[in-house]
Structure 1
Amino acid sequence: MDKKNWIIGAVVGAVMGGAIAGGAAVAHHAFAAEFDGKAPVLLRGKVTRVEWINPHAWVHINNTNAQYAEGAWMVEGGTPNTLLRAGIDRNSLKPGTEIVVRGYQSKDKLCKPACKANGRDVTFPDGRKIFMGSSGTGAPKDGADASER
């Protein structure tokens, strides 16, 4: 490959890489951009599916707590790596697992196709409670994160 073609290839690669990285950066958001710190929720129900994707994992549950909209909820957690370090993995969040999630509802309050919330912690049937958020996102400081104490 001659020098000219190498330079063109390098420039095209850099532009493509920047476009891909830029898309990921736009997709990531601070807590306050999407969620309402004055709208806490306590959801209870069975896991229907889990999306282990970056930049945030999503836990889908069928909420049965009548205090909040019953039915499908999407709960945003930290990155898959953050959840794994906290002790949440594919085996602990299998569909059908009954959980309780404490978190904050989305600002738009829309529930189509599902209601959305940012999860602060999840409680499992055996009583284990695990922090599922990510530090430094702008979420209210409520003591759920050990780094806040």
Structure 2
Amino acid sequence: MQTFFSTSGVDQVRAKLSVVAAGIGLLLVATAPLWAHHSFWVEFDVNQPVVLKGTITKVEWINPHAWLHLDVKSPDGAVEAWMIEGGSAAALLTRGFTTRTLLPGMVVSVEGYRSKNRALRANGGDITFADGTTLFFAFSKM
């Protein structure tokens, strides 16, 4: 009896390898966002705590981290544009944040840790508002 599909050992091995390769490819694509996520310990310096008081210029409610942009006046009077990394938008919502909690023009104080590369970036911790209310902005407590 003649068949249209070859059943030789070589063809079977090729078919299995194709399935395995496709599976690995799908796995790599699906997990790529996890690789992009970084560790606090890699990017930020626990020995460089900062307290930044400034005016919010922009808020990015994105995942995996929300970002707060803050204009901070340095000791010499120059305005520095800081970026503060927060937790995920979903985590912040469970802590009491809404899209109206942090608005451009608000003055806040942020405690956190400066980036290791000394850029004007920090991992945010507690944010204190003008009325004294404090909310936790980071991904998790250390």
Please give the range of the TM-score, normalised by the shorter of the 2 chains.
0.7 to 0.9
Q: Which amino acid aligns with 1:35?
A: F
Unaligned runs of 5+ in 2: 1-17
Aligned counterparts of 1:89 and 1:20: Cα–Cα separation in 2:
32
Compute the RMSD of aligned alpha carbons: 2.5
Tell me which residue corresponds to 2:86: 77
Tell me which residue corresponds to 2:105: 96
1:61 is the counterpart of 2:70: yes
Tell me which residue corresponds to 1:15: 25
SS in 2 for 1:130: strand
Tell me which residue corresponds to 2:55: 46
Structure whose alpha-carbon radius of gyration is higher: 2
Unaligned runs of 5+ in 1: 1-7, 140-149
The verdict on how the C-alpha distance between 1:44 and 1:27 changes in structure 2, with shifts beyond 3 A counting, is same
Task: State the TM-score, normalizing by the size of structure 2.
Answer: 0.76
Aligned counterparts of 2:89 and 2:128: Cα–Cα separation in 1:
18
1:84-118 per-residue CA deviation (whole Å, 9 max, x = no partner) reads 111122101111111100000000002xxxx1000
Query: Could you tell me whether the CA contact under 8 Å between 1:104 and 1:118 is conserved in 2?
Result: yes
State the shift of 1:14 in Å. 7.6
Determine what percentage of the aligned residue pairs are the same residue: 43
- Aligned length, in residue pairs: 125
Query: Could you tell me whether the CA contact under 8 Å between 2:74 and 2:80 is conserved in 1?
Result: no
Matches for 1:92-131 after TM superposition, within 5 Å: 92-110=101-119, 115-131=120-136
